[in-house]
Amino acid sequence: MKAGTREAPVGDTAMELVGDQDIIIARAFRAPARLIYEAWTKPEFVRRWWAPKSHGVELAECTADVRVGGEYRYLMRRGEDEYGFRGTYQELTPHTKLVYTQIFEPFPDAAVLVTVTLAEVGGLTHLVSHERYPSPEARAGALEAGMEHGMRETMDQLDALLASLT
């Protein structure tokens, strides 16, 4: 699976390691590209999906200045632990492409370059997120620190969120 391919699955997430520094993540959504683009950038939407409660994290801070050169910061909190992600937008093409850096704050020297592309075809939006890590070690190690806890899925919190919004 290469970036830009239209093979992203619906309802399930495909992931692939490419070379020794890249990770590609893909999924297709039954929603217009505009909605996915906005959900990816507007803090009021990011809050609703970026820190899954099933992973025991909440977003303590979520800010974004969505323009080229603008910065964003998402601060995740789990109990007494806090860890943040921040970065700068480098390219923004509504609603088909975003390019931004992503720094996991415990490892400030390992900025990742993320390129997100959205391709809307027949009611489906195919999203591909291409993460380019600064080194093989960064790819292997930098993200492990944030994912020590269990990864079991629960949909209960999502059901509750839906119920509260409708």
Partner 1 sequence: MIETFAALAEPNRFRIVELLRAGPRPVGEIGAHLELRQPQVSKHLKVLKSAGLVDVEARAQQRLYGLRPEPLVALAAWLERYRSLWDARFDALDELPEELKGEDENEGRDA
Name the residues that contact partner 1, by CB under 8 A. 11-13, 15, 17, 19-20, 23, 25, 27, 29-32, 34-39, 45, 48-50, 52, 54-55, 66-67, 92, 94-95, 129, 136-137, 139-141, 143-144, 147, 151, 153, 155, 158, 161-162, 165-166
In the complex, minimum distance from the CB of residue 36 to partner 1, in angstroms, rounded to a whole number: 7
In the complex, minimum distance from the CB of residue 80 to partner 1, in angstroms, rounded to a whole number: 21
Query: Which residues, listed in sequence order, are joined to residue 44 by a DSSP beta bridge?
Result: none
In the complex, minimum distance from the CB of residue 100 to partner 1, in angstroms, rounded to a whole number: 15
What is the C-alpha to C-alpha distance for residues 166 and 156, in angstroms, rounded to an integer? 16
What is the C-alpha to C-alpha distance for residues 59 and 165, in angstroms, rounded to an integer? 18
In the complex, minimum distance from the CB of residue 122 to partner 1, in angstroms, rounded to a whole number: 16
CB 146 within 8 A of CB 129: no
Q: Which is nearer to partner 1, 17 or 121 (CB)?
A: 17
Phi and psi (nearest 5°) for 127? -105, 130
Give, in order, the Cα–Cα distances in Å from 90 to each of 66, 67, 96.
10, 8, 14
CB 89 within 8 A of CB 109: no
Q: Which is nearer to partner 1, 11 or 69 (CB)?
A: 11
In the complex, minimum distance from the CB of residue 52 to partner 1, in angstroms, rounded to a whole number: 4
Q: Which is nearer to partner 1, 23 or 62 (CB)?
A: 23
**Ramachandran bin of 142, using left for φ above 0, alpha for ψ from -120 to 50, beta for the remaining angles:** alpha
Q: Which is nearer to partner 1, 52 or 84 (CB)?
A: 52
